[in-house]
Amino acid sequence: MCVFLRASVLKQYDFVIVGASPSGCLLANRLSEVPEWNVLLIEAGERENMFVRVPIFSAYLQATSYNWGYLAEPQNYSCWGMKDQRCSYPRGKGLGGSTLINYMMYVRGNRYDYDQWAAAGNDGWSYDEILPYFIRSEKSYLGETASDYHGTGGNLDVRHLPYRTRLAQLFVDSWKELGLDVVDYNGESQIGVSYIQSNVRGGRRLTAYTAFLEPILDRPNLHILTEARATKALIDPVSRRAYAVEFVRDRTRYTVYAEKEVLLTAGALQTPQLLMLSGVGPRVHLEELGLPVIQDLPVGQTLYDHVYFTGLAFVTNTTKLSLHGDNVLTIDAFLSFLQGQGPMTVTGGVEAVAFIRNTSSSTATATPTTVPNIEYIFSGGSLAADSGSGIRSGFRLTDNIYSIYKPLEANERDVMTVNVVLLHPRSKGYMRLKSCNPLHWPRFYSNSLQDPADVETILRGIRSAMPLLGTRAARSFGTKLYDLPLPNCAHHPFGSDDYWRCAIRTQTTSIHHQMATCKMGPAGDPEAVVSSTLKVHGIERLRVADVGVIPYPTSGHPAATAYMIGEKLADLIREEWLSKDGGGGRQDN
């Protein structure tokens, strides 16, 4: 049995928000617009520092205290090239959540993704219904591409990067030659190629904290508590109503009471942990750990993630064009960064994307042809671009695998990497508590590539990228495939289907897009944890508002969706509670 110390009372608020994720920061902003409501935001981490704000350092940030540093459990089907066959599961720790350490790409996904949510019984979540919430939070600087799909009055800057390498232009021009249109992938059509739309301001990383909390720090009805580790929500077992949150700060346990609601926004990996510690989760699992069961729900039983193959590198006959460390970490580059320009403003080296639909006749589904199943993320460098420091440790590459890329450290020729992202995986994982100790990490069983169809889809993605080599743009740079075989796959002829299948299982890893652990769905859905109003089924005054509620993998990146979820829930809460409270209205920031 779990034994907990008696907690002391801190204070009472109308709303207690647990976790300063993108949706948590946005909710704190929107709910505190109502001056009569007192709002507390609890966050385990700290504020960002200046190092965080430098976009090129994204890979290095995974080795800092801004990352929880989670690892998936050892896998049989994937992560063969990672230490102990365990892929990294980085999650942001601090005000802004994973926007502190991510690659700042703003990708909403496809219209069909959200219409599928609505078709599954989630009223109010069709694309036409949620588009206004994307628009509300956005401040677009996309110029001519700003349209009915973009907003200009929100807190979140969305723009193209201020610096662009010639290699990125090669990538875009090559896809254009192959027939892809240049598109606004957050607009009417997603299939196509584009330079990335990013959350940057003045050439610096724009976190959810900077966008949504910094402008309102003077609001007297909003309190933000950092370095406070939430341990569970308190739920009355008779009334099944959430009424407080327990947390630990400075080795002291506290209780803070919520007069109206407890809102869990700690992310797709930590919110389910908090729910299970609170007595909401799979009965058998909770009873195994001696946790009381207040509500039997499939918390953490569904875990989807986008994965990507990082082993498709191309070498050119040029020099000094790629984002190799020697080209980026210079005095001139730093001085340019201070002016909001230069290569240090590039988000972890990522500059451009392409979306395609590549489905064989044997795996064709009823999904519309306008929905991509492969995303290509272009990086103007290699896995050795930083000479084996941040990138290698972030991926946890073994010495054996990294030895293949070590020759590229010399920077004699430019290298670019085309990462192949699987957007709609069939493989599905799950998570478990390690123990009833809230300070213990959960166990994450990703099951990545368990379904062979996922390997085949990535393989087709690799094959579909090969024609890039034959384009005029690529030939003008003397572009060649980097063909040093992986040691564990060398028994297959390099470039054969079997070689690539082996390489995929060796060098495919998480792109840090975990979702669906607190799946949204109607009460009749056996996998659902929350309703379409994000209320935990069977529990009053407890909601989840982070990417854990996403029911199916989208064609986008979860950060953009998290902001939308926060905007929508803010409206749902205002509609419900202002009618009960008898007034109030939306205020300006």
DSSP readout, 424-459? S-S--BEEE-S-S-TTSPPEEE--TT-SHHHHHHHH
Residue 414 predicted with pLDDT over 80: yes
Give the pLDDT of residue 410: 81
* Type of residue at 275: L
**35-88 pLDDT, tens per residue?**
999 999 999 999 999 999 999 999 889 889 999 999 999 989 999 999 999 999
Among this protein's residues, is 557 annotated catalytic? yes
- The DSSP output letter for 279 is T
Which DSSP letter does residue 440 get? S
Task: Say whether 246 sits in a helix, a strand or coil.
Answer: strand
pLDDT digits (tens, 9 = 90+) for 157-202: 999 999 999 999 999 999 999 999 999 999 999 999 999 999 999 9
- Residues 415 and 314 sit within 8 Å (Cβ to Cβ): yes
Q: Which of 150, 160, 513, 537 is catalytic?
A: 513
**CA–CA separation, 525 and 71 (whole Å):** 29
pLDDT tens-digit series, residues 474-527: 999 999 999 999 999 999 999 999 999 999 999 999 999 999 999 999 999 999
Q: Please identify which residue in the block is written with the tokens 């799979």.
A: 282
Asked whether the predicted pLDDT for residue 2 surpasses 50, the reply is no
Q: How much of the chain, in percent, has pLDDT values that exceed 90?
A: 86
What pLDDT does 6 receive?
41
Q: How far apart are CA 272 and CA 358, in angstroms?
A: 34
User: What secondary structure letter does DSSP report for 201?
Assistant: E
Average pLDDT of the chain, as a whole number: 93
pLDDT, tens digit, for every residue of 274-308?
Answer: 999 999 999 999 999 999 999 999 999 999 999 99
Distances (CA, A) of 402 to 202, 321, 408, 418: 35, 23, 10, 17
Q: What integer pLDDT is reported at residue 144 of this predicted model?
A: 63
CA distance 412 to 225: 49
Q: Select the highest-mean-pLDDT range: 247-251, 365-369, 421-425.
A: 421-425
Q: How confident is the model at residue 146 (pLDDT cuts 50, 70, 90)?
A: low
> Which tokens in the block code for residue 390?
């941040």
Distance CA(156)–CA(151), nearest Å, equals: 9
Strands 88-89 and 70-71: antiparallel
Terminal alpha carbon distance of the chain: 47
In DSSP terms, which residues pair with 252 in a beta bridge?
A: 249
Match 């060649």 to its residue by tokens. Answer: 480
Which H helix or E strand runs over 173? helix 166-177
| Joined tokens for residue 476 | 């003008």
**What distances in angstroms separate CA 460 from CA 422, 463, 481, one per listed residue?**
11, 5, 16
| Beta pairing, strands 430-432 & 295-296 | unpaired
Amino acid symbol at 202: G
Total Cβ atoms within 10 A of residue 4: 12
281: closest CA among 430, 155, 415? Answer: 430
Which parts of 19-122 are beta strand (E)? 39-42, 70-71, 88-89
Distances (CA, A) of 314 to 309, 408, 417, 468: 14, 11, 6, 10
Print the SS3 string covering 348-413: CCEEEEEEECCCCCCCCCCCCCCCCCEEEEEECCCCCCCCCCHHHHHHCECHHHHHHHHHHHHCCC
Tens digit of each residue's pLDDT (9 = 90 or more) over 434-457: 999 999 999 999 999 999 999 999
Contacts of 311 (CB under 8 A, 6+ apart): 486, 503, 506, 507
Q: What is the pLDDT of residue 8?
A: 44
**CA pair distance 255, 473, nearest whole angstrom:** 62
Q: Which residues contact 47 (CB under 8 A, 6 or more apart)?
A: 94, 95, 209, 226
Between strands 415-422 and 374-379, the pairing is antiparallel
The pLDDT of residue 579 is above 90: no
Name the pTM for this structure: 0.95
Q: Which one of the listed residues 160, 324, 537, 557 is annotated catalytic?
A: 557
**Angle (CA) 435 436 441, round 5°:** 55
Q: Is the pLDDT of residue 11 over 90?
A: no
